Structure 1
């Protein structure tokens, strides 16, 4: 078996297609060349490795990919270690809110400990975290810890953040109960205002809805947006109430009041990683825990 052909197949399987593989390979190669060499590999093995449209690995392709994956996926880390950079390169993937709030301060403190720190930061959707870790594109994923982790992943809790309700300042409302009234249909309660929230698959939305159900309140988001700061902007303009979190040291924008949500489970923000962490990742977690402890002591 030609090892170069096996490498090309690895990238095609990883990125689910020849066109995508050519774009993301670490060296230049033309699509016809990849197609031709993959065909040679299939002819040599006497099996079909994947269906082209739509892309799908055959059983033989899955077997070969499982064999090739550990070697080729581990090459970047081996290369870094050989170059002596592994001890100072940290790759973090996280949501936009995590990247923008406290993380810069944590990394600033980490850089004081490790002056030659090299960082790779990437914003991704929660659904992409597993792939980022298992394909070794990230050392640590920072996210909301909610639900069961995928097999092979571990977590470390960093911060607990309470849920809050955001309301227009013009409403003069101080509690959730002041927003709630009996429903005209059924025996449940409902809100006097529309709800601005995140998509249903987001952990924040799921935790909020779970808290509402315990109080027999039915209140689905009539406006779904993809970021907490966008929720605030709509609330400030009177489009309804919004879901939010009480991040320490972060104040709402003008025109928005914050109502505590007593009895609702908090968000738990933490780090997810695969296998054993390299030393710089452990140092980052220790620095983050020290930072969070400092915030808690200043409340």
Structure 2
């Protein structure tokens, strides 16, 4: 028997079906792949292990599940013991502004509950944060949350933030709608990648206005957007983070009636106690920011 097939069957039996198993696996895998590998396991055993609809373990499946369950139930704890206790480490990915402006205070509150732990911080935009989650190099990411998530990724919404445009202060533009009436917008749009939710939401807003304006410069961080706007390369698209103040030499333009982006926490599998505490502190910080109404410019 293939050990990976047994692992997949363990999750299917534990969570009561293939679909819920895919949602709860600690790594990304598509439903058809699970179905195919379970079928190969049944073929190798020469028997059916469970009924699909409605889900129900058959006697051979129950026997196999009871045999493999102790091993897979304890495998995480054994891994933690071998690594020296991953329960005492926290690995987080977030954009630079979150790492710099918000996490120090949040982590200080976490340390009240866990005085000693190893901390690893990754500066990462959404795509890189998702990759780090999928390969289990981080415990949790603070990032833009999409309606359609990658397989196996769980999330918790924290803050809804408005989109804004950034222009060099020497430009005459004072309102975004001054752009929409033009036959063609000549300025270069500086933004995250076209596949990023921030860019996708902006394009949705433009479609509603009947305006075409696509990124001419794509970058991976808000800091780079600000830098290139300040150097006169074009107009930047970004998110108004809590307490946002435009850097010196840059003016922020509101985008009323444009979709807002959801910032949240994302993770895979079961959170450790310290990661759960970190998530709790993130939620408390988000509630505080919403109450203070500093999320709008």
- The TM-score normalised by the length of structure 1 is 0.66
Aligned residues of 2:91 and 2:137 also touching (Cα < 8 A)? yes
| Unpaired segments ≥5 residues, structure 1 | 4-58, 65-70, 184-189
Aligned residues: 228
TM-aligned CA distance change 1:297 to 1:130, over 3 Å: closer
Alignment of 1:236 onto 2:230: yes
Q: Shift in Å at residue 242 of structure 1?
A: 1.0
Once the two structures are superposed, residues 44-91 of structure 1 have per-residue CA deviations (whole angstroms, 9 ceiling, x without a partner) of xxxxxxxxxxxxxxx99xx99xxxxxx99x967633246773433222
Query: Which residue of structure 1 aligns with residue 100 of structure 2?
Result: 100
Q: Shift in Å at residue 108 of structure 1?
A: 2.1
Once the two structures are superposed, residues 127-175 of structure 1 have per-residue CA deviations (whole angstroms, 9 ceiling, x without a partner) of 3444533443222122111241122221101122111011111224322
For 1:187-226, list aligned pairs within 5 A. 190-226=184-220
What is the CA–CA distance in structure 2 between the aligned matches of 1:136 and 1:178, rounded to whole Å?
46
Query: Which residue of structure 1 aligns with residue 154 of structure 2?
Result: 154
What is the CA–CA distance in structure 1 between the aligned matches of 2:76 and 2:276, rounded to whole Å?
20
Once the two structures are superposed, residues 244-279 of structure 1 have per-residue CA deviations (whole angstroms, 9 ceiling, x without a partner) of 211112322111011111111112111112233222
Relative to structure 2, which stretch is displaced further, 261-270 or 191-200? Answer: 191-200
What is the CA–CA distance in structure 2 between the aligned matches of 1:219 and 1:120, rounded to whole Å?
38
- Which secondary structure state, in structure 1, belongs to the residue aligned with residue 181 of structure 2? strand
TM-aligned CA distance change 1:211 to 1:294, over 3 Å: same
Q: RMSD of aligned C-alpha atoms? A: 3.1
What is the CA–CA distance in structure 2 between the aligned matches of 1:273 and 1:198, rounded to whole Å?
22
Q: Shift in Å at residue 119 of structure 1?
A: 1.4
Aligned residues of 1:181 and 1:192 also touching (Cα < 8 A)? no
Alignment of 1:116 onto 2:116: yes
TM-aligned CA distance change 1:212 to 1:101, over 3 Å: farther
Q: Shift in Å at residue 225 of structure 1?
A: 2.5
- Which secondary structure state, in structure 1, belongs to the residue aligned with residue 226 of structure 2? helix
What is the CA–CA distance in structure 1 between the aligned matches of 2:227 and 2:233, rounded to whole Å?
9
- Which secondary structure state, in structure 2, belongs to the residue aligned with residue 155 of structure 1? strand
TM-aligned CA distance change 1:118 to 1:145, over 3 Å: same
TM-aligned CA distance change 1:226 to 1:84, over 3 Å: closer
Aligned residues of 2:226 and 2:236 also touching (Cα < 8 A)? yes
Alignment of 1:253 onto 2:247: yes
Q: Shift in Å at residue 235 of structure 1?
A: 1.7
Which one scores higher on RCO, CA 8 angstroms, separation ≥ 6?
A: 2
Relative to structure 2, which stretch is displaced further, 147-156 or 98-107? Answer: 98-107
- Which secondary structure state, in structure 2, belongs to the residue aligned with residue 146 of structure 1? coil
Once the two structures are superposed, residues 25-54 of structure 1 have per-residue CA deviations (whole angstroms, 9 ceiling, x without a partner) of xxxxxxxxxxxxxxxxxxxxxxxxxxxxxx
4+ runs deviating over 6 angstroms: none
- Which secondary structure state, in structure 1, belongs to the residue aligned with residue 276 of structure 2? helix
Q: Shift in Å at residue 182 of structure 1?
A: 3.8
